[in-house]
């Protein structure tokens, strides 16, 4: 009788605790959180060494600060500050340290599976304003593939050439 009572209490405890454990783990639905991005630089400038089909910007860039988060539901937040053309050759002197592109967007690149085969799926955001100082805020949703394995987040030109990417 005591054995059955202990088993019943253990079973009831597991049933009652399971929902609260699920709630606690879903408090942070982040797939990726970051506080740094790598700027495009040689040899990644241009299309020759594209990453997952995303070509680099045609000139090297630099970035002061970046942070962001990609949620499991597709919520994407990216903030960049000081995303500008590099202050060195081959960037023309008059463009060094400036952002000549009035709008940025983001591309989220995921490894996924389609028909049993490995695939790369890139999803884009709409355009957001970018200052001449290279500051921009992206706050939107993207339709992530399922599964979304090893996501990379790029900040790009309107045509999709990347200026910064998650990494160091």
> What is the residue extent of each domain of the chain?
29-166
Q: What DSSP assignment string belongs to 97-160?
A: T----SEEEEEEEEEEEETTEEEEEEEE---EE--TT--EEEEEE----SS-EEEEEEEE-TTS
Q: Which of 102, 101, 120, 118 is nearest to 110 (CA)?
A: 120
Model pTM above 0.75: yes
Walk along the chain (168 residues) and give the pLDDT tens digit of each residue: 544 443 433 433 433 333 333 333 455 688 999 999 999 999 999 999 999 999 999 999 999 999 999 999 999 999 999 999 999 999 999 999 999 999 999 999 999 999 999 999 999 999 999 999 999 999 999 999 999 999 999 999 999 999 999 999
């Amino acid at each position: 009788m005591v054995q059955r009572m202990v088993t019943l209490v253990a079973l009831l405890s597991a049933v009652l605790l399971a929902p609260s454990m699920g709630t606690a783990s879903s408090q942070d639905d982040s797939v990726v959180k970051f506080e740094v991005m790598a700027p495009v630089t040689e040899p990644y400038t241009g299309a020759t060494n594209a990453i997952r089909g995303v070509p680099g910007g045609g000139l090297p860039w630099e970035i002061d600060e970046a942070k962001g988060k990609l949620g499991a539901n597709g919520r994407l937040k990216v903030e960049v500050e000081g995303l500008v053309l590099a202050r060195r050759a081959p960037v023309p002197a008059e463009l060094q340290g400036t952002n000549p592109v009035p709008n940025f967007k983001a591309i989220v690149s995921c490894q996924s599976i389609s028909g049993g085969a490995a695939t790369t799926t890139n999803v884009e955001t709409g355009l957001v304003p970018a200052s001449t100082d290279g500051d921009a805020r992206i706050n939107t949703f993207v339709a992530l593939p399922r599964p979304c394995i090893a996501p990379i987040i790029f900040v790009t030109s309107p045509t999709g050439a990347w200026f910064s990417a998650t990494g160091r």
